[in-house]
Each structure stands twice: as C-alpha cells, then as structure tokens.
Amino acid sequence: MKILCPTDLSHHSKIALEYAIHMANDFKAELHIVCAYEVIKRTGSLIDLEDVVRKNTEEDLAKLLSGVAPLIVSDYLPISKVLNGPAVDAILNYAR
C-alpha cells in the first residue's frame, strides 16, 4: 500500500501529514510526501529565482519532516520530493 501526502508546508498540512504518518504506521504503507512550487518566468528578469525557490522549499520540507520524524515507527521511511510546476498538475503527475 502507498499513501501520498501533498503538503504546502502550512500548519494545517502538518496536521494532515501527522495523520498520514499514523496511517502509514498502522498499515505498514509506503508514505510519499510531496511539495510543489512554481516560479513564474518573466522575460527580461535579471535573476533566475527557480533555484532559490527550490532550495528554500527543500529546506522548509526538511524542517517539517524533522519535526514529525519521532512519529514514524514503521520500518518504511517516508519518501519526500519537491516538485516543480503548478501544484495540482505536479501532484497528479507524481501520483501517476
């Protein structure tokens, strides 16, 4: 069994993540935690923000996961991934 838990790194999504962790523990399921970001590209921009946003999102996701790590008691470690693109599209593509 696999469980997909998207997060926007908010307080409410942390609660959903905690619930997903408990379900993964109970069912010995593989837990996938994904977070999507999107950087709108504009012509004439002097800097490329994509690398900065990706790095910040990865750091924020790692911080969130370290906060809930004590809840993980199954043998399966969660798989976490930062996705690039509109959240709905990125999450659905990952799920496929």
The better pLDDT of the pair 41, 63 is held by 63
Burial (0-12, 13-18, 19+ Cβ within 10 Å), 65: middle
Stated pTM of the model = 0.88
23 neighbors 5 (Cβ within 8 angstroms): no
Tens digits of residue pLDDT in 75-84: 888 999 999 9
How large is the greatest C-alpha to C-alpha distance in the chain, in angstroms? 52
Q: How confident is the model at residue 86 (pLDDT cuts 50, 70, 90)?
A: very high
Tens digits of residue pLDDT in 6-59: 999 999 999 999 999 999 999 999 999 999 999 887 666 656 788 889 999 999
